[in-house]
Amino acid sequence: MRLVLLGAPGSGKGTQAARLKTALGVPHISTGDMLRAAVAAGTAMGLKAKAVMDAGQLVSDDILLGMLEDRLAQDDARAGFILDGYPRNLAQADALDQLLAKIGQPLDAVIKLEVPNEAIIGRCEIRFKAEGRADDNPDTVRKRLAIYAEQTAPVADFYARRGKLQVVDGVGELDQITIRIRQALQNEAAAAG
């Protein structure tokens, strides 16, 4: 199973990816985690990314794509993967499609977790109070949601046009949401098969 999870910040992508990885038998690949690991390991791509981050800039799409290509070449990703946090814009979605075509691993499905903004802000406020994560501050969350609406939301249309998108209600108990995702994946497999 080769899967992309889309959704606004705080929609539950990481939580659901962690739950699905065991059931699907594929790794959960988070670009944020991947960047931190590459920097810590001192890989060539990690050193490039560190130089960019140390300069206070965003890591370029080329660096992210190179790191992703390296990660997808690892043995545990040969049977598939769950991507979380990538692609974040149309250029990344197009580059990902090209990369996956090049390595012969096209996407099976894209799941978009649909969660109203007010529910996301509420979730993040709870996490902010419990964990103190700066990016969960309500004002920061509102800014991140605006960026998501502008840059990342159009990625869903990109995949819908390719017949890969399944929209799943991301509100409710964790188990319910996981069941909805699994059902959407079964529906996608039935439609493709």
Mean pLDDT of the chain: 90
Rounded to 10 degrees, the C-alpha dihedral 183/187/188/191 comes to 170
Q: Is the dihedral of CA 128, 154, 111, 96 positive or negative?
A: negative
Domain-by-domain residue ranges, the chain?
2-30+80-192
pLDDT digits (tens, 9 = 90+) for 102-118: 999 999 999 999 999 99
Q: What is the DSSP string of 6-17?
A: EE-TTSSHHHHH
46-101 per-position pLDDT tens digit: 888 888 777 767 678 888 898 899 899 999 999 999 999 899 899 999 999 999 99
Q: Whose structure tokens read 């497999």? A: 189
pLDDT at 109: 95
Q: Look up the pTM and report it.
A: 0.87
The CA-atom distances, in angstroms, between 25 and each of 6, 18, 65, 80, 155 are 20, 11, 23, 8, 26
Predicted local distance difference test score (pLDDT) of residue 73 = 93
The confidence score (pLDDT) of residue 159 equals 96
For residues 137 and 9, the answer to whether their CB atoms sit within 8 Å is no
Residue 87 backbone zone (phi > 0: left; psi -120 to 50: alpha; other: beta)? beta
Give the domain 2-30+80-192 fold.
Answer: Rossmann fold (3.40.50)
Answer whether 11's CB lies under 8 Å from 115's CB: yes
| Cis bond upstream, residue 154 (ω within 30) | no
Strand order from edge to edge, sheet including 165-169? 28-30, 81-84, 2-7, 109-114, 165-169
Which one, of 31, 26, 19, lies nearest residue 1 by Cα? Answer: 26
Specify whether the CB–CB gap between 32 and 85 falls below 8 A.
yes
Q: Over the range 100-138, which residues count as b (16 or more CB within 10 Å of their CB) and which as e? A: beeeebebebbbbbebebeebbebbeeebeeeeeeebee
Question: pLDDT-derived band of residue 161, with 50, 70 and 90 as boundaries?
Answer: very high
Average of pLDDT values for 146-151? 89
